[in-house]
Each structure stands twice: as C-alpha cells, then as structure tokens.
Amino acid sequence: MTEAERSEDAAADGDGLRDIAGAVKALSADMARLVLVEAQLFGHTALAMIGLAVAIALLLVGAWLFSGAALVVALTGLQAFSATGALLTVALAHLALAGLALWRLRHITRDLTFRESRASVNGLLARARSPGDASGQSPGEG
C-alpha cells in the first residue's frame, strides 16, 4: 500500500466519521422537535380535558338543581305536600344522599393509607427483630 492510498483511506474514514456525526446531529434535532411537538399536544389535550371536566361538572350541577326543582313542583302538584314541605323533603333527601356520598368517600380513602403495605412491612420488621427467627422457631416455641 502506498502513501497516497493510506492518505485516501484516512480521508475516507474521516468523511465517514463526519457523516455519522452529521446523522447523529440530525437525529438529535429531530428527536428534540418530536419531544416539543408531543409536549404541545399533551398540553392541548390536558387543557381540553380540564375544560370538558368543568363543563360536565357544571351541566351535572344544573341537572341536579333542575331535577330537585322539578321534584318540588311535582310534590306540590300532587298536593301531597305544601310548597315548604316539598322543599324540605327534597332538601332532606339531598342531605341524605350527600351523607351517603361522604360515608363512601371516607370508606374509600382508607385504601389511600397503604394499610396492607404497612401491615406487611411491620410483620417483616417484627420477624426480623425476633430472636427465634434465625433458628426458624417463633419466640414462644422452646
């Protein structure tokens, strides 16, 4: 191999490295643009979801109020209750439903305290501290 061929091979290797570096730069720029577009899409989607959740909540509150008013009108139309009695009956029914919802919410939030995980960890700690653990016996066994 002559000196000229070696210098051409070195130049070709240098061009190959430059091509790879250029491809890596282009790929990095494309990835950055993709992350930016995905972040913008996520932001728009999150805002749309929040807006729709607020709209749904307002519609549900409106439906709840109008159904309560319709129930009051129906009770007074049947002449089963006076207007005041119908309002009180509907208000008490709503309070009872709110109480049930609150009871259920308190029942559900017990699961947020990781009771089972804490009990498991406490059991592991108790077994690790017990002196009979190394021999495979519980402390009460002798």
Query: Per-residue pLDDT tens for 64-74?
Result: 999 999 999 99
CB 68 within 8 A of CB 94: yes
pTM of the model: 0.52
Contacts of residue 132, Cβ cutoff 8 Å, sequence gap at least 6:
138, 139, 140, 141
Query: Could you give the C-alpha distances from 118 to 46, 105, 108, 126, in angstroms and in order?
Result: 34, 21, 17, 12
CB 53 within 8 A of CB 38: no
Q: Which pLDDT tens digit goes with each residue over 41-56?
A: 999 999 999 999 999 9
Radius of gyration of the chain (CA): 36
Greater confidence, 46 or 109?
46
Residue 48's pLDDT is 94
Q: How confident is the model at residue 142 (pLDDT cuts 50, 70, 90)?
A: very low
